[in-house]
Amino acid sequence: MTERDDSKMEALESQVRGLKDLIEVAKAVVSTLDLDTVLQAILTSAMGFAETPAGSVALYYDSKRELSLHAHAGLTSAFVKTERWTVTPGGLTEQVLKAGEIFFIEDTETTSFFNNPIALNEGIRSLVCVPLVFQSRIMGILYLDDFVPRQFDREKLNLLAILASFAAMAIHNATLHKRTKLMAITDSLTGLHNHRYFKQYFRQEMARAKRYHKPFSIIMMDVDDFKSFNDSFGHANGDNMLRVLGGVLMDTVRGVDVAFRYGGEEFIVLLPETRLEKAILAAERLRAAIQTGTAGKMSGPAGAGVTVSIGVASYPENADKTDELFNIVDSLLYRAKRCGKNKVYHQESLLIPTP
């Protein structure tokens, strides 16, 4: 066998090894429907395949021209603390998005258009940017980074493009799965979580509060005179009012709190690690926000708004069992309705200090 034949054989064997590696990578990225797991698998596999010590995956939102960091490895906390960023005109990411093809830089210090101060401070000297494209839509970008200048194997870059196709398909499937799961636990009218998810989440959070000896509160509210509102303005406007109210709830609760449409015109907010005093303040904020936030928001009945009656209860102050806590907050809600409406009720005696 001649030297030329040996060279061809080595090249062929290298291609076969690359394809075998690619198959293993493809298996990894399509083996789950959990989006975060998919993204981490894509990153880990691609870094191993390209032999880079660092990298990240960012999802792309075309409507906002924005990227969101979802997976990273080998990078400092200072680098990854920026979780969202917009596309810089003329920058590297914009070039990748426009071309829709793999883009690489073998030395950032000799590349005139590369002027990302965060990446330069990180010490990134070479990188590969891989657009993750599914059905002509860019789902995200895979960044593979090295801290020394280097020449990238063109053959591996070609195989990396195939990996990117698998990765984009996996992201699409995982995103679709996540959306479908979310629809199953979401009330279609208000966009809040639904009754079924409330039952699951309530027991889960109550158990967590007991296990870690943390406080936990529940706010339950009911729209005042909603039947009269429907009779006066029609069911379509009634539905629209519930939709507006759901938006007010989402805008008013904290990020750690979870809001539900319990049924009809009843709503619930769960407040993890929140004592009764803080929960009462939160309930008052919600009551006031709903009274002002629903007024003037209707397309038909100008100026028409609604008020809510609210009950508040907490673990461990009011009860230490799930059903008991729910029954207490439910009774407090209806006490608020019987005693004038547009009020917040709680077990006041528990807040009065002993003389």
Average pLDDT over residues 135-162: 89
DSSP secondary structure, 251-303, as one string:
HHS-TT-EEEEEETTEEEEEEET--HHHHHHHHHHHHHHHHHHSTT--SSSTT
Burial of 299 (0-12, 13-18, 19+ CB in 10 A): exposed
Q: Are residues 117 and 243 in the same domain?
A: no
Judge whether 186 lies within some domain.
Answer: no
Judge whether 101 lies within some domain.
Answer: yes
Instruction: Give the neighbor-by-neighbor strand order of the sheet with 216-223.
Output: 258-263, 266-272, 216-223, 308-315, 344-345
Q: Are residues 85 and 141 in the same domain?
A: yes
List the domain range (segments joined by +) for residue 104. Answer: 3-181
Quickly list H helices, 51-100.
Answer: 77-80, 92-99
Q: Are residues 329 and 212 in the same domain?
A: yes
pLDDT in tens, 200-230: 999 999 999 999 999 999 999 999 999 988 8
Judge whether 187 lies within some domain.
Answer: no
pLDDT in tens, 24-67: 666 656 666 677 887 888 888 888 888 899 999 999 988 888 99
Cis peptide before 316 (omega within 30 of 0): yes
Judge whether 203 lies within some domain.
Answer: yes
Query: Does 131 have pLDDT greater than 90?
Result: yes
CA dist., res. 225 & res. 76, Å (int): 56
Tokens of 132: 């993750």
Q: Are residues 165 and 260 in the same domain?
A: no
Domain end position, chosen among 181, 214, 239: 181
The residues near 127 (Cβ < 8 Å, ≥ 6 apart) are 104, 105, 108, 119, 143, 144, 145, 146
Query: Does 146 have pLDDT greater than 90?
Result: yes
Judge whether 188 lies within some domain.
Answer: no
Judge whether 61 lies within some domain.
Answer: yes
If you count them, how many residues does the chain have?
355
pLDDT in tens, 151-188: 988 878 888 888 888 888 888 888 887 777 777 888 98
Query: Does 352 have pLDDT greater than 60?
Result: no
pLDDT in tens, 64-107: 889 999 899 999 998 998 888 888 888 888 888 888 889 999 99
CA dihedral (174, 179, 180, 182) positive or negative: positive
Report pLDDT for 209. 93
Judge whether 136 lies within some domain.
Answer: yes
The count of domains in the chain is 2
Q: Are residues 294 and 333 in the same domain?
A: yes
CATH of the domain at 247: 3.30.70.270
Q: Are residues 164 and 219 in the same domain?
A: no
Q: Are residues 226 and 166 in the same domain?
A: no
3-state secondary structure of 330: helix
Instruction: Give the neighbor-by-neighbor strand order of the sheet with 126-134.
Output: 84-86, 66-73, 54-61, 137-146, 126-134, 103-105
Q: Are residues 78 and 175 in the same domain?
A: yes
The active-site residue, picked from 122, 205, 265, 317, is: 265
Q: Are residues 273 and 177 in the same domain?
A: no
Per the CB < 8 A criterion, the answer to whether 341 and 335 are in contact is no
pLDDT in tens, 317-334: 999 899 999 999 999 999
Say how far residue 129 (Cα) sits from the centre of its chain. 24
Tokens of 314: 């907490």
Q: Are residues 162 and 208 in the same domain?
A: no
Q: Per DSSP, what are the bridge partners of residue 58? A: 69, 141
Q: Are residues 11 and 34 in the same domain?
A: yes
**Phi, then psi, of 195 in degrees rounded to 5:** -60, -45
CATH of the domain at 83: 3.30.450.40
CA dist., res. 184 & res. 260, Å (int): 13
Judge whether 291 lies within some domain.
Answer: yes
Domain end position, chosen among 123, 155, 181: 181
265 is catalytic: yes
Domain end position, chosen among 121, 155, 181: 181
CB atoms within 10 A of CB 342: 16
Q: Are residues 57 and 143 in the same domain?
A: yes
3-state secondary structure of 233: helix
